[in-house]
């Protein structure tokens, strides 16, 4: 069924979960095709592109910001670990560039993983540009060690496009929410020369 998702153990995803493999293959092909069109005449150079190519990487947390209202309010993420300081419905993650994805990056989002044994979130919902996804109740995930939500079709977060991840937060505390998928970058030096943990502007 189109637009669906599955909840599974993150370890099973890493070991070759068939649904994830199908999603990633299709999403990767669509993302590279879109980047090839949008960034022509650049061609795909995988993880070690030349200046005439665009490269690929895992999704970098630095392309997103925490929406905590505490001391690190709207801070660019350097890891997927963030502090949730308010209970209730709220935006918990957004694009780093005032809510949008930075220019020169495109992201293929295949799913999300919750890397903590204790999950402080009951529901999630996303908005990508003007497209809103349905609410996903993740209370079933509470029985998993490290649950992952894998989307059947995946989503492309285009450069200079808004992204917000909303959640119903049950309790305050740290939560590691990792975005699963891949990204392509038009300017190789932004990833190859910049320091690890640095903002990817």
Residues 53-77, mean pLDDT to the nearest whole number: 81
Percent of the chain, pLDDT > 70? 91
pLDDT at 167 over 80: yes
User: What's the pLDDT score for residue 71?
Assistant: 46
Compare 20 and 143 and report the one with higher pLDDT: 143
* Model confidence band, residue 2 (pLDDT cutoffs 50, 70, 90): low
pLDDT at 176 over 50: yes
Contact criterion met (CB below 8 Å) for 179 and 64: yes
Ordered DSSP codes for the chain: -TT-EEEEEHHHHHTT-HHHHHHHHHHHHHHHHHHHHHTTT-EE-TTS--TTEEEEESPPGGGEEE--SSTTTTPBPSSSEEEE---EEEEEEEETBTBBPPTTEEEEEEEEEE-SSS--EEEEEEEETTEEPPPEE-GGGGGSSSEEEEEEEEEEE-TT-BEEEEEEE-S-EEEEEEEEEEEEES-THHHHTSPTT----
CA distance 108 to 32: 9
pLDDT for 97-145, tens place per residue?
999 999 999 999 999 999 988 899 999 999 999 999 999 999 988 888 8
* Model confidence band, residue 3 (pLDDT cutoffs 50, 70, 90): low
Residues 83-106, mean pLDDT to the nearest whole number: 93
pLDDT at 43 over 90: yes
* Model confidence band, residue 69 (pLDDT cutoffs 50, 70, 90): low
Residues 170-179, mean pLDDT to the nearest whole number: 93
Q: Let me know how long the chain is.
A: 201
* Domain map (residue ranges) of the chain: 5-188
* Model confidence band, residue 74 (pLDDT cutoffs 50, 70, 90): low
Residues 30-50, mean pLDDT to the nearest whole number: 95
């Amino acid at each position: 069924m189109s637009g669906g998702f599955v909840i599974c153990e993150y370890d099973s995803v890493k070991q070759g979960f068939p649904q994830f493999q199908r999603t990633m293959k299709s999403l990767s092909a669509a993302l590279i095709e879109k980047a090839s069109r949008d960034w022509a005449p650049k061609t795909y150079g995988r993880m070690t592109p030349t200046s005439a190519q665009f490269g690929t990487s895992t999704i970098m947390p630095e392309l997103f910001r925490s929406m905590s209202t505490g001391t690190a309010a709207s801070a660019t993420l350097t890891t997927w670990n963030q502090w949730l300081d308010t209970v209730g419905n709220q935006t918990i993650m957004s694009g780093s560039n005032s809510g949008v994805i930075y220019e020169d990056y495109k992201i293929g989002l295949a799913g999300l993983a919750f890397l903590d044994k204790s999950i402080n979130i009951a529901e999630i919902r996303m908005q990508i540009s003007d497209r809103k996804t349905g609410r996903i109740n993740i209370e079933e995930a509470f029985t998993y060690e490290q649950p992952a939500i894998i989307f059947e079709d995946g989503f492309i977060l285009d450069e200079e496009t808004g992204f917000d991840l909303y959640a119903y937060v049950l309790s305050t505390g740290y939560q590691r929410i990792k975005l699963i998928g891949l990204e392509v970058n038009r300017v190789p030096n932004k990833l190859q020369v910049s320091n690890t943990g640095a903002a990817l502007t």
